[in-house]
Amino acid sequence: MAADLRIVIENCAIATVDANDTEYASGYVVLAGNRIESLGAGTAPEGLENVVRRIDASGHLVTPGLVNTHHHFYQWITRGLATDHNLFDWLVALYPVWARIDEPMVRAAAQGSLAVMARGGVTTAMDHHYVFPLGSGDLSGAIIGAARDMGVRFTLARGSMDRSEKDGGLPPDFAVETLDGALAATEETVRQHHDSSFDAMTQVAVAPCSPFSVSTELLRDGAQLARRLGVRLHTHGSETVEEEKFCHELFGMGPTDYFESTGWLGEDVWMAHCVHMNDSDIAAFARTRTGVAHCPSSNARLAAGIARVPDMLAAGVPVGLGVDGTASNESGELHTELRNALLINRLGPHREAALNARQALRLGTYGGAQVLGRAAETGSLEPGKLADLVLWKLDTVAHASIADPVTALVFGAAAPVTASFVDGRQIVENGRLLTADEDAIARSTRDEAQRLARIAAQG
């Protein structure tokens, strides 16, 4: 939309998730091009020029778009497998299947993952892709192309693995890269696709997979590469007790100390899961402003444990929400993670004081933007920020009797998305994608899942 053209959204409740948690019981938002021009209580200012559309959002809550901070898109075509396994057993069961992926499979899986997130209110997505079997095609290009076509803002965490079965790792030998090959391919992906501008639609991070699937050299050199290129760093950390045991046995220290020794703590780093963190670990993350992608459903699915999110937030650790791969969170939806984050954390030692509805919404919006390094551009509704926002319908039987709209969104059933805007462009209307054919995506993901299963069965 041209910068001088305006969309006016009126008569809605608004949760800005700004620094003061400003909310309006009935207000307006004006979009000009790809930016939020103004917002406030009551009706929009008189005399606005070049208004191309007015939306009567009565019965809706408007929030910043949701920000997903951890995902593995390729797993969309391996959902429903190994459903009663812990992390390591799950990986052992699935790596031989994942090692057979190719470009058409990855493209279809990315489309499926993005479609479900986008129609559920995600405006900024990310994908941590680390499986690059020899001869599998341009997997990074396929993923980035799918996000571009869907119209979501996107970060590709270009992953890598160089520790295979022959080195004591879990992936098959042919499914990993060499140290030099992984670094070179990652650098090329950054140079080809990363956009550092304020309104960038595509960014790239350097993302070796995990302490137990990469060498110390890949971690250390990957951190140096990211900082030389000026991009962020992402990996899995402290996910399970088995990982902690692995780090102590192999490196003589726990995961956080190991990460710090390899240059992997800092305000340009975020890690997925961080379930098994002691007080000193949390203090180290807070001191260095290292971010966390909290994945409550996946942590529960794999019986990994309950992350200490209230303690992290109290210490000042940036925390966002993640879907995680859909082989460990089959729904693939981030808006349900608002509720799950709140409920699961209340099972921990803080009980009912662990998280409230507004803290959960902040995790899924501003917290995620912080973790991805984009809090200046998105994650809250403020003049000058990017026009990434969602209209949640809260006047149906599922929510209408809940007086507080934020409580309705977080505690209630998954709310329908009437409209979702990314960069000022509407990509969802009445729960359906405007940028892709959902039925065609369903067919292609089914077909590619079946093809992958056949290939994997042949060994």
Contact in structure between 432 and 438 (CB atoms under 8 Å) = yes
Q: How confident is the model at residue 175 (pLDDT cuts 50, 70, 90)?
A: confident
CATH number of 66-371: 3.20.20.140
Task: Supply 330's token pair.
Answer: 């089959």
3-state secondary structure of 141: helix
Task: Supply 108's token pair.
Answer: 């279809």
DSSP labels, 11-79: EEEEE---TT--EEEEEEEEEETTEEEEEEESSPPTT-SSEEEEEE-TTEEEEEPEEB----GGGGGGT
What are the residues facing 153 on neighbouring strands?
124
Contact in structure between 319 and 312 (CB atoms under 8 Å) = yes
Prediction pTM value? 0.97
For the chain, state the CA radius of gyration: 21
Torsions phi, psi for 423 (to 5 deg): 60, 30
- For residue 1, pLDDT beyond 70: no
DSSP character at residue 201: S
d(CA 286, CA 280): 10
d(CA 224, CA 211): 17
d(CA 43, CA 389): 18
DSSP-derived pairing of the beta strands 6-15 and 60-64: parallel
pLDDT in tens, 47-75: 999 999 999 999 999 999 999 999 999 99
Angle formed by the axes of helices 179-193 and 139-150, nearest 10°:
30
Contact in structure between 393 and 59 (CB atoms under 8 Å) = yes
Q: How confident is the model at residue 170 (pLDDT cuts 50, 70, 90)?
A: confident
pLDDT in tens, 389-448: 999 999 999 999 999 999 999 999 999 999 999 999 999 999 999 999 999 999 999 999
Contact in structure between 206 and 158 (CB atoms under 8 Å) = yes
Is the C-alpha dihedral spanning 321, 152, 155, 100 positive or negative? positive
> What residue segments make up the domains of the chain, in order of their start?
6-64+384-433, 66-371
Task: Supply 338's token pair.
Answer: 């608002």
- If you count DSSP H runs as helices and E runs as strands, how many of each does the chain have, helices first? 15, 17
pLDDT in tens, 93-145: 998 999 999 999 999 999 999 999 999 999 999 999 999 998 999 999 999 99
Q: Which CATH number fits domain 6-64+384-433: 2.40.30.10, 2.30.40.10, 1.10.357.10, 3.40.50.300?
A: 2.30.40.10
